[in-house]
């Protein structure tokens, strides 16, 4: 098949959507398909073919609500006239999906959409967007969701849409099969020290502030919290006086420390393998990849009840889910936990190695059987092939 994946950002940009599309695209190439990713032009991108995946760049920005600008017409024409068998758009509410809505009837190939959560569903600014969306979604041949119960699939069910399938997220067997045991030594973390890990961009919504507060309050003795996030000059989720430091040292931390990193991907994976507990008090998610990556590294997790994290914990048996409430001053749907609940959860799990071991084993087995990209890519492939229109 000739496949085009559309996504707002792609490698070398990092993030959940980028990683899903990267994994699917590269594995589809390995399966013998011709794959192109249509995405935003990126100055740091020096290659137009990466691991067999062709990248077609467009100088576009925005979405249907904020307004779109740039090479929108060139992008629409490229998708219409590209001779593809399948177009799969990943994530709504961004230009690479929204710009195709007006021209869906002109696209001659099979059309697949993975909405990726509908984060603006409760935002008044998006009221008309979601009022118009059911009619638009009926023009797609297939809709792929990551959860049986999250807001995006419930929205579609409420409007009688039937062309739907749930394919969970996952983590790469190729990446996580190699265990690098040098992470602690390379970063000055004692082998016997308790190490907590969280991974997420410095957007103010990934729970970094809450994780630090819980670390400070937890009665766990000397410990290190490693925060891995892509570089953001402001690091708005952290106090200004420490945001540019590698090691965070606050009086409230006592003998505990916080390490800020933005390392290459292999070091991120090494950090998962080195951690005793993955901590994820994020404020909003769809289906967080990081929980599947924790499963792949045999690392139990504690997470907010956001996105389908509760569902992932149920699938895997490897997570503790915290009750959440609407975050004061945040947009609708942005939640947070009580620091006391997070602190208590961290204390309980770190004090019970046997329980963590059982959780780790259950999560790893579930990932190995059902939640690795090598397996999940075959499910996407089957969805693409079901009624693919041959290219002209």
333 and 202 inside one domain: yes
Q: Which helix (H) or strand (E) holds 135?
A: helix 127-137
Query: Does 100 lie in the same domain as 77?
Result: yes
Judge if 48 and 107 occupy the same domain: yes
Is there a contact between 240 and 232 (Cβ–Cβ < 8 Å)? no
Indicate whether 130 and 92 sit together in one domain: yes
Query: Is 390 within the bounds of a domain?
Result: no
Quick count: other Cβ atoms within 10 Å of Cβ 248?
20
Look at residue 322 and tell me if it is in a domain: yes
Cα distance between residue 337 and residue 359, in whole Å = 22
Segments of the chain with pLDDT less than 50: 233, 240-241, 243-244, 391-392
- Does a structural domain hold residue 293? yes
Prior bond of 12 cis (ω within 30°): yes
- Whether residue 154 is found in the same domain as residue 248: no
Beta carbons of 37 and 95 less than 8 angstroms apart? no
Residue with tokens 């929205």: 155
185-226 pLDDT, tens digit per residue, is 999 999 999 999 999 988 889 999 999 999 999 999 999 999
How far is it, in rounded angstroms, from Cα 194 to Cα 173?
Answer: 26
Phi, psi of 357 (to 5 degrees): -65, -45
To which residue do tokens 């265990």 refer?
179
- The rounded distance, in Å, linking the Cα atoms of 181 and 307 is 32
**CA–CA distance, 133 with 169 (Å, rounded to integer):** 24
Same domain? For 221 and 127 the reply is no
**Are 154 and 288 part of one and the same domain?**
no
Statement to judge: residues 17 and 109 lie in one domain: yes
pLDDT of residue 391: 47
Judge if 48 and 17 occupy the same domain: yes
Query: Do the domain assignments include residue 8?
Result: yes
Residues 87 and 185 in one domain: no
Whether the full predicted model's pTM is greater than 0.75, yes or no, is yes
Residue 205 included in any domain? yes
Could you give the angle at the alpha carbon of 120 between the alpha carbons of 119 and 121, nearest 5°? 95
Q: Are residues 104 and 180 in the same domain?
A: no
Q: How many CA atoms lie within 13 A of 71 on its CB side?
A: 13
Do residues 368 and 321 make contact, with C-beta atoms less than 8 angstroms apart? Answer: no
> The CATH number of the domain where 163 resides is what?
3.40.50.2000
- Number of neighbouring beta carbons within 10 Å of residue 179: 12
Task: Please state at what angle helix 289-296 crosses helix 353-370, rounded to 10 degrees.
Answer: 110
The residue range of the domain holding 26 is: 2-170+373-385
Best CA proximity match to 380, nearest among 99, 35, 15: 35
pLDDT for 258 equals 92
Residue 391 falls within a domain, yes or no?
Answer: no
Q: Are 159 and 181 within one domain?
A: no
Q: Please state the domain count of the chain.
A: 2
257-to-37, 87, 269, 282, 345 alpha-carbon distances in Å: 40, 46, 21, 20, 19
Q: What is the pLDDT of residue 251?
A: 61
In a domain, 96, yes or no: yes
């Amino acid at each position: 098949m000739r496949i085009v994946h559309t996504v707002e950002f792609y490698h070398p940009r990092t993030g959940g959507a980028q990683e899903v599309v990267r994994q699917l695209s590269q594995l589809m190439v390995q399966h013998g398909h011709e794959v192109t990713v249509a995405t935003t032009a990126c100055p740091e991108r020096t290659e137009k073919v990466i691991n067999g995946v062709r990248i077609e760049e467009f100088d576009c920005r925005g979405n249907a609500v904020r307004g779109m600008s740039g090479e929108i017409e060139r992008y629409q024409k490229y998708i219409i006239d590209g001779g593809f068998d399948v177009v799969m758009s990943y994530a709504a509410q961004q230009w690479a999906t929204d710009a195709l809505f007006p021209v869906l009837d002109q696209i001659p190939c099979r059309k697949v959409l993975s909405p990726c959560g509908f984060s603006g569903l409760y935002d008044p600014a998006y009221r008309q967007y979601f009022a118009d969306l059911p009619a638009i979604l009926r023009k797609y041949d297939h809709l792929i969701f990551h959860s049986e119960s999250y807001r995006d699939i419930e929205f579609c069910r409420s409007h009688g849409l039937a062309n739907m399938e749930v394919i969970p997220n996952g983590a790469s067997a190729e990446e996580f099969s190699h265990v690098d045991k040098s992470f602690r030594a390379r970063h000055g973390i004692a082998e016997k020290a308790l190490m907590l890990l969280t991974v997420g961009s410095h957007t103010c919504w990934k729970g970094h502030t809450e994780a630090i507060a819980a670390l400070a309050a937890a009665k766990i003795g000397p410990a290190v919290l490693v925060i891995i996030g892509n570089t953001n000059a402001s690091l708005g989720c952290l106090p200004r006086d420490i945001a540019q430091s590698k090691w965070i040292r606050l009086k409230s931390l006592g003998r505990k420390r916080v390490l800020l990193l933005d390392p290459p991907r292999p070091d991120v994976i090494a950090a998962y393998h080195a951690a005793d507990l993955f901590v994820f008090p994020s404020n909003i998610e769809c289906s967080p990849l990081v929980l599947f990556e924790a499963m792949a590294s045999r690392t139990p997790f504690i997470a907010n009840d956001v996105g389908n994290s509760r569902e992932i914990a149920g699938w895997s048996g490897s997570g503790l889910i915290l009750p959440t409430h609407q975050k004061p001053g945040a947009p609708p749907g942005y939640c947070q936990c009580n620091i006391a609940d997070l602190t208590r959860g961290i204390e309980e799990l770190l004090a019970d190695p046997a329980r963590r071991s059982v959780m780790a084993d259950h999560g790893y087995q579930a990932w190995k059987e059902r939640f690795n990209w090598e397996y999940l890519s075959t499910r996407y492939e089957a969805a693409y092939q079901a009624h693919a229109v041959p290219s002209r």
